[in-house]
């Protein structure tokens, strides 16, 4: 393989790592390699070790809970994008389940799932998703609201076929058709869930969005795949240091560098064609126990869903554990619960302070092969390491038409 081919392969892997979430923090390795002042994780191999020595691969699949923040108009942080990403390091097959933001769950009382992270942190979010779907979760990744926008702008925008005229209030305004989107417009695309509902023909220009969050999940998954394909080219390799800096500044995760390297030993097998996307099937925001296969455009039966969740999504469950029986009992609890009265003292999600800095990557110890007991309370996070100095951004290269 020539040098350009190698560069394209490295870029492709890093791009996929960033945008499907299974190894968001792995891209920090490139930053460490280009900045000698960055302290190395003592439990992780040095860049010399990575180049000159082999590592022990992890051959068991993992489930990563990926959450992306959205800031409501009143300042409250909600996780409007929630995905469970299943990655098999042997075959590099990737399966993604989107959990719709309005899905009802039980956390202190019945509430929308996008409120759980701000109420109880990553541990509560992982346990809630585990019980809802009846699967194990091994790791989590949380990204701030501005990361996708910053990355898209750094890489010169994104070409995408907007499926319909998107207009909502005074902050979403996209024309239909194939076009180059900047970071702000990509955020509009990914957050759009229905048009202004001010008439009988509100969905006339966007009929596919009558399913609201279901279609939004499909659009998010479609955009991720399209964007990775566009940027998996040698001309973007010189931008990776600045992209990695954006990821590092906007991500919290418990994935360690050593774990990332051990998962990606078969990285040459990674391909967008090996990604299958799903979303939960729900009625009035109540999950009914089945999934929709968005890649093949079909609804799975209950037996097919149970087979997928219990076999294809089977993992060690380092962060949280649940079975299909747990899911059935949990969904019964949701249906029997109700919100407390207004005078109830249960705390509500807090507003984001205007002076709060962006979240920075954290690394916490995690066993690599042996399952650990379920944690009943969120552990105290280790001090966040000082961020590497900002890398000068190179001049953006225009995407060829």
CA nearest 295: which of 272, 311, 313, 314? 272
Locate the DSSP E strands across 182-330: 251-253, 275-283, 286-293, 298-299
- Residue 29 in contact with residue 241, Cβ under 8 Å? no
Contact 140, 84 (CB under 8 A): no
pTM: 0.64
Closest CA to 35 of 394, 391, 386, 393: 391
Pairing mode of beta strands 62-71, 139-143: parallel
What are the CA-CA distances from residue 377 to residues 126, 194, 381 (Å)?
12, 37, 12
Residue with tokens 């390297």: 261
Compute the C-alpha angle 319/65/38, nearest 5°.
85
The rounded distance, in Å, linking the Cα atoms of 186 and 174 is 10
Dihedral pair phi/psi, residue 207, rounded to 5°: -65, -30
State residue 95's pLDDT score. Answer: 95
* Residue bearing tokens 């998962």: 263
CA distance 106 to 22: 27
Residues 6+ positions from 165 with CB-CB distance below 8 Å: 174, 175, 176, 195, 205, 206
DSSP H/E element including 124: helix 116-133
Q: How many helices (H) and strands (E) does the chain have?
A: 11, 14
- CA pair distance 311, 123, nearest whole angstrom: 24
Residue with tokens 């979240």: 359
SS3 225: helix
Residue pLDDT tens, the chain, 401 long: 454 444 344 334 344 444 434 333 333 333 333 333 334 444 555 544 544 456 789 999 999 999 988 766 555 678 888 999 999 999 999 999 999 888 999 998 889 999 999 899 999 999 999 999 999 999 999 988 678 888 999 999 999 999 999 988 888 899 999 999 999 999 889 888 888 877 666 788 888 888 777 788 788 878 887 888 888 777 887 887 788 788 878 889 998 878 888 898 887 787 778 889 899 998 889 999 999 998 899 999 999 999 999 999 999 999 999 999 999 999 988 877 654 444 444 445 544 444 334 444 444 445 444 444 444 444 333 343 444 444 333 333 333 33
In 100-146, at which residue ranges do the beta strands (DSSP E only) sit? 104-107, 109-112, 139-143
Radius of gyration of the chain (CA): 21
Residue 245 has a pLDDT of 82
Q: Which helix H or strand E contains 302, and what residues bound it?
A: helix 302-307
Query: CATH assignment of 3-150+216-336, given 3.40.120.10, 3.40.50.300, 3.30.420.590, 3.40.50.11540?
Result: 3.30.420.590
| Number of neighbouring beta carbons within 10 Å of residue 34 | 15
Rounded distance between C-alpha atoms, residue 319 and residue 372, angstroms? 8
Q: From the CB of residue 395, how many other CB atoms can be counted at a distance below 10 Å? A: 7
Q: How far apart are the first and last CA of the chain?
A: 27
Q: What is the predicted pLDDT for the residue at 401?
A: 32
Q: Dihedral (C-alpha) 242, 245, 249, 251: value to the nearest 10 degrees?
A: 110
- Tell me what pLDDT residue 192 has: 87
User: Which of 89, 401, 142 is closest to 264 using CA atoms?
Assistant: 89
In this structure, the number of other CB atoms found within 10 A of the CB of residue 286 comes to: 14
Provide CATH 3.30.420.590 ranges for the chain.
Answer: 3-150+216-336
Residue 26 CB contacts under 8 Å (≥ 6 apart), including other chains: 14, 17, 255, 257, 260, 261, 264
């Amino acid at each position: 393989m020539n040098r350009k081919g190698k560069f394209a392969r490295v870029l492709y892997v890093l791009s996929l790592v960033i945008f499907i979430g299974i190894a968001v923090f792995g891209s920090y390795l490139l930053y460490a390699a280009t900045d000698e002042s960055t302290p190395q994780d003592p439990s992780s191999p040095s860049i010399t070790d990575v180049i000159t020595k082999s590592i022990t691969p992890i051959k068991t699949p993992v489930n990563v809970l990926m959450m992306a923040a959205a800031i409501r108009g009143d300042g409250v942080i909600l996780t409007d994008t929630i995905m469970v990403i299943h990655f098999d390091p042997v075959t590099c097959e990737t399966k993604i389940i989107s959990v719709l933001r309005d899905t009802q769950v039980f956390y202190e009382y019945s509430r929308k799932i996008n409120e759980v992270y701000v109420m109880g942190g990553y541990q509560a979010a992982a346990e809630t998703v585990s019980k809802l779907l009846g699967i194990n979760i091994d790791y989590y990744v949380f990204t701030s609201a501005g990361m996708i926008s910053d990355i898209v702008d750094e890489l010169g925008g994104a070409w995408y076929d907007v499926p319909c005229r998107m207009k909502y209030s005074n902050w979403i305004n996209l024309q239909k058709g194939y076009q180059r989107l900047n970071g702000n417009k990509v955020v509009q695309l990914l957050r759009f869930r229905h048009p202004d509902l001010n008439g009988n023909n509100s969905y006339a220009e966007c009929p596919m969005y009558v399913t609201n969050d279901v279609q939004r999940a499909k659009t998010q998954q479609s955009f991720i795949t399209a964007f990775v394909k566009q940027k998996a080219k040698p001309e973007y390799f010189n931008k990776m240091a600045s992209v990695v800096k954006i990821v590092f500044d906007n991500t919290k995760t418990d994935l360690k560098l050593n774990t990332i390297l051990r998962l990606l030993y078969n990285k040459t097998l990674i391909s967008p064609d090996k990604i299958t996307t799903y979303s939960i099937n729900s009625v009035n925001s109540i999950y009914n126990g089945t999934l929709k296969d968005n890649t093949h455009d079909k609804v799975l039966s209950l037996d097919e869903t149970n087979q997928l969740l219990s076999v294809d999504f089977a993992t060690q469950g380092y962060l949280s554990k649940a079975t299909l029986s747990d899911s059935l009992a949990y969904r019964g609890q949701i249906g029997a619960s109700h919100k407390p009265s207004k005078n109830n003292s249960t705390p509500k999600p807090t507003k984001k302070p205007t002076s709060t800095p962006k979240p920075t990557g954290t690394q916490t110890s995690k066993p690599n092969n042996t399952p650990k007991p379920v944690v009943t309370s969120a552990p105290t996070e280790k001090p966040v390491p000082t961020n590497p100095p900002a890398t000068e951004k190179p001049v953006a290269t225009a995407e060829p038409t």
